[in-house]
Amino acid sequence: MATATLDATARPTPPPRRRAGARSTLTAGSSLGLGIAVTWFSLLVLIPLTAIVATSAGRGWSGYIVTITNPQTMAAIQLTVGQSLLVTGINIVMGTLIAWVLVRDRFWGKSVLDVIIDIPFALPTIVAGLVLLGLYGNGSPIGLDWAYTERAVMLALAFVTLPFIVRTVQPVLEELDHDVEEAAASLGAKRLTIFRRIILPSLAPAIAAGAALSFARAIAEYGSLVLLSGNKPFTTEVVSVRVLSFIENGSTESAAAVASLMLAVALFVIVVLDVVQRRVSRRG
Amino acid sequence: MSIEVTNVTKKYGDFYALDDVSVSLPTGQLTALLGPSGGGKSTLLRIIAGLDTADSGTVAIEGTNATRLPPQKRNVGFVFQHYAVFKHMTVAKNVAFGLEIRKTPKAEVKRRVGELLELVHLSQFADRLPSQLSGGQRQRMALARALAVEPTVLLLDEPFGALDAKVRKELRDWLRRLHDEVHVTTVFVTHDQEEAMEVADEIVVINHGRVEQVGSPDQLYDEPASDFVMGFLGEVTRLGPVRLRPHDVEVATSPGRAGAIPGTVTRLLRVGFEVRLQVQLGDEFGTGAEPVSVVLSRSHARSLDLELGSKVWLTAAVGAVTVPAMIAV
Amino acid sequence: MVEVSTPVKWLLRVLAIGYVFLLVAWPVSTIVREAFADGLGTFVEIFSDEQAVNALTLTVQVAVQAVLINLVFGVGISLLLVRYEFPGKRVLSALVDLPMAVSPVVVGLSLLLVYNGRDGWFGEHLEKWGVQIIFSGTGMIMATCFVALPLVIREVVPVLTEIGDDQEQAARSLGANARQTFLRITLPSIKWAVVYGVVLSLARSLGEFGAVKIVSGNVANQTQTATLLVEKQYQSFDQAGAYAVSFILAFVSVLCIVVVSILRPKEHSK
Ligand SMILES: Nc1ncnc2c1ncn2[C@@H]1O[C@H](COP(=O)(O)OP(=O)(O)OP(=O)(O)O)[C@@H](O)[C@H]1O
Ligand SMILES: [Mg+2]
């Protein structure tokens, strides 16, 4: 047998695996589907939302500023943003706490608690307002009469936003690796330290996502406030109610101007969600 | 030739998963696509099956140009690395799927499914769900499912990759026997050289998106076309300017032969009939250099009277397969 | 797992239960008391009141149509987002979440601006061809579709991602075409996610208020849905009527939630 002597060609190592970027993998059928879906989505969502921005620009920048800085509108904005921040703060604490109890605690009736958390998602908002009125309104069985006050606004917002942080934090908490906590404990960390240094950082993206959603929902809320807050200008009138009264008065440009602010908040929240989701999936 | 792959290139972004690959796979044979992870084996197999499309180049199956055919028109059977069983269907339903798609009469489907389950030894599990099967059983079911449609070619992507060593070996022998019975042109992907050598009629070695060599297991072992193929198919050691197999290193206890390289035995290990040595070469070859591995038969080692610290002289055996060593890194 | 000490555990448990009880459970339970204050009398009245029956019927019609549209659209777009690569995919996948964050009032206004027959971007032309969207069922369905749009998608996308495309590819290699693969392989695997999505969308659609209020015109017996009726009844001091209709709405939505929560764990253990 002859000695096979061959030249060994050294090849450069290939670059690391990368996902195909903007390349399309659409087939004829799926392109058609995408076309139909995007058309429908544009007609239903994108063009109408664009119309809000376009209409709000109808009276120029100065007109826009005048509408927004109208004292009654400013009061509504202040109230809505203030209450939404407050409620989001409450949710960050209570939502995380409830998620913790649902995941780590065991007690009779826990599954009922789990189901009740979802009720605000599904309950029609007008009904939500009505039921809160039953307990916290005039003739309250517990002797509170918060109807038509700022408290009522807070209450309604807290009700409708309750599930957001609970439902984003809960699955993350369920998947959290117990080993890591035990490892930390074996290294001598105290419970509070473990919570602060190990658990909280892993929950942070979920809490951020839930907080963003709950803030957006609070800013956007309308139905539950109609009956509960009384819609008194300068005291309990929120922005969505303000927009609606502009619409009812036929001043669509003013309505669109205020609505464009709400839309900006919504877009901001969606961007936050997208970023958080991407960060989480990169970790996982 | 059953499968003709010509000048196929596949890029992901600006990375070449396959770079101008041409191979022909003969009818009725069992061919292995062998290569390291990320080399492009699955990509090639998926392009043959039509599950991916090449950026350029053509694929012909049994003489028909299949480059633009969708997978369902190619009549290939594909067995996936992770089985890809239909979780919501029973074993029998899984196997029947391709036949039902082809509107085969009910009685015929029943008969074929029965036969195939017999063939893969799963008859008694016909009504189970895949989740109630073991890994090896699932893999056999996937194979029966692929065979049900009487494919022109059978493509298997690391069919035994996810199984433990023992089951793997069983299924490997079973696949060889099955192929001898059914004679369908078969291509299977593996990164295990032993598996390829044992089962395949022919091996295609793929690395960095290129075909390194095509040949029978013996050809590849005895006449590796490159340093890479040599290294991939078996143990290799470096002796001075060349690389060669440890059993091709000749050991002498005196500096008789021309070009013999002196060294000291630093390790000596008996494994069954073999004796494995590590020989540290002298300083002129660099003290930091890797020691040379040598494999001898036990009797030969005994006749040389080797022990730790023995001074030895090494040469490449006559007719040994050698390739020049790459410049030390 | 690191256990918290018993007093802390109890504190957390009491806080969680207390908060949920005071905020949700107790208030929601008052509706049952109020609705049945006169026994079944109010309900007999409701179901013999033409206006209430019309409102409930309209609500169901609008909701069912909106859910069907969102079902088809949602499953389709989920498949596109998970199974294909195309330019603009990331933007699209973020935008389909947008309706979650947009106020129903903004939704109503936006549709009004584009589709009203007087000076809407498209509405003006559509009106000339005799198509009316605002103040009609079409507008109400569109508003409902808008607000409930992400629900099916958010259920289906994670499941599609999780199951991967192995089974679909296997089906293709066995000779199934795209339609057969979808019906025989993909759909059975995402069945439960679709069911949740539909149930949640239904609950959301039945209860839509703000957006529908703006686009419907709120004309009794024609474009007045159940939620709009509740508002009107309450404001015209027909509390009993408002509570009775609310009870029906609340009952259906709580039922939806319970159905989903019963189905969900079953699927987990499978
Ligand atoms: N969808 C994809 N996007 C980007 N790169 C990809 C994609 N699929 C494969 N690649 C790249 O192409 C190269 C070849 O992949 P392939 O799956 O063919 O490797 P392989 O030889 O089958 O490896 P293994 O033995 O690990 O399965 C790899 O570097 C891989 O990262
Ligand atoms: Mg592979």
Distances (CA, A) of B144 to A214, B136, B159, C185: 52, 12, 13, 18
Residue A8 binned pLDDT confidence (cut-offs 50, 70, 90): very low
Question: Is the pLDDT reported for residue B328 higher than 60?
Answer: no
Residue A241 vs residue B160, higher pLDDT: A241
Residue B244 vs residue A97, higher pLDDT: A97
Q: Extract the runs of DSSP E, i.e. beta strands, from chain B.
A: 3-12, 15-25, 30-34, 56-61, 64-65, 76-79, 153-157, 185-190, 202-207, 210-215, 237-239, 242-244, 249-252, 261-271, 274-281, 292-297, 311-316, 322-324
Tokens of C68: 């069907």
Which domains does chain B possess? Answer: 3-230 (3.40.50.300), 237-324 (2.40.50.100)
A3 inside 8 A of chain B by CB: yes
Residue B283 binned pLDDT confidence (cut-offs 50, 70, 90): low
Average pLDDT, chain B: 87
Partner B, chain C 127-186, Cβ-Cβ below 8 Å: 166-167, 169-177, 180, 184-185
Q: What are phi and psi of B292, to 5 degrees?
A: -85, 135
> Lowest-pLDDT range, B31-40, B211-220, B255-264?
B255-264
Say if CB B112 and CB B99 are below 8 A apart: yes
Burial of A8 (0-12, 13-18, 19+ CB in 10 A): middle
Q: What is the pLDDT of residue A12?
A: 39
Q: What is the pLDDT of residue B201?
A: 92
Q: Determine, for residues A266 and C102 on separate chains, whether the beta-carbon distance falls below 8 Å.
A: yes
Question: Is the pLDDT reported for residue A135 higher than 80?
Answer: yes
Question: Is the pLDDT reported for residue B149 higher than 60?
Answer: yes
The CA distance from C114 to A52, in Å, is 9
Nearest residue to B62 via CA among B76, B52, B51? B76
Question: Is the pLDDT reported for residue A9 higher than 50?
Answer: no
The CA distance from A166 to A235, in Å, is 30
Distances (CA, A) of A59 to A46, A82, B128, B246: 22, 28, 70, 87
Q: What is the pLDDT of residue A6?
A: 35
- Give the model confidence (pLDDT) of A209-237 as tens digits: 999 999 999 999 999 998 888 888 888 99
Q: What is the mean pLDDT of residues C148-166?
A: 92
Pairing of strands B185-190, B30-34: parallel
Residue A17 binned pLDDT confidence (cut-offs 50, 70, 90): very low
Sheet bearing B15-25, strands edge to edge: B15-25, B3-12, B56-61, B64-65
Instruction: Tell me the chain C residues in contact with residue B139 when contact means C-beta distances shorter than 8 Å.
Output: none
Q: What is the pLDDT of residue A87?
A: 97
Tell me the nearest-neighbour CA distance from C70 into chain B, angstroms: 26
Pairing of strands B64-65, B76-79: unpaired
> Lowest-pLDDT range, A17-26, A202-211, B314-323, C30-39?
A17-26
Q: What is the pLDDT of residue B1?
A: 57
* ipTM of this complex prediction, to 2 decimal places: 0.92
Q: Determine, for residues A8 and B222 on separate chains, whether the beta-carbon distance falls below 8 Å.
A: no
Instruction: Tell me the chain C residues in contact with residue B153 when contact means C-beta distances shorter than 8 Å.
Output: none
Residue A260 vs residue A274, higher pLDDT: A260
Instruction: Tell me the chain A residues in contact with residue B321 when contact means C-beta distances shorter than 8 Å.
Output: 1, 3-4
Tell me the nearest-neighbour CA distance from A118 into chain C, angstroms: 7
Q: What is the pLDDT of residue B191?
A: 84
Q: Determine, for residues A14 and B227 on separate chains, whether the beta-carbon distance falls below 8 Å.
A: no
Tokens of C103: 């106020």
What pTM was estimated for this model as a whole? Answer: 0.82
Say if CB B57 and CB B5 are below 8 A apart: yes
Q: Determine, for residues C172 and B51 on separate chains, whether the beta-carbon distance falls below 8 Å.
A: yes
Question: Is the pLDDT reported for residue B287 higher than 70?
Answer: no
Residue C86 vs residue A147, higher pLDDT: C86
Q: Determine, for residues C189 and B70 on separate chains, whether the beta-carbon distance falls below 8 Å.
A: no
- Which neighbouring-strand residues pair with B271? B274
Tell me the nearest-neighbour CA distance from A28 into chain B, angstroms: 12
Instruction: Tell me the chain A residues in contact with residue C122 when contact means C-beta distances shorter than 8 Å.
Output: 47
Residue C71 vs residue B152, higher pLDDT: C71
Which of B16, B323, B327, B329 to mutate against chain A (most A CBs within 10 Å)? B323
B138 inside 8 A of chain C by CB: no
Cβ neighbors of B276 (< 8 A, separation 6 or more) are B246, B267, B268, B269, B270, B293, B294, B295
Average pLDDT, chain C: 89
Nearest residue to B113 via CA among B131, B133, B130, B93? B93
Which domains does chain A possess? Answer: 43-283 (1.10.3720.10)
The CA distance from B183 to B329, in Å, is 47
A29 inside 8 A of chain B by CB: no
CB nearest to A11's CB, from B208, B242, B322: B208
Residue C198 binned pLDDT confidence (cut-offs 50, 70, 90): very high
Nearest residue to A216 via CA among A147, A129, A157, A133? A157
Q: What is the pLDDT of residue B284?
A: 67
- Give the model confidence (pLDDT) of C43-59 as tens digits: 888 888 888 999 999 99
CB nearest to C113's CB, from A55, A94, A121: A55
Tokens of B84: 């890809």
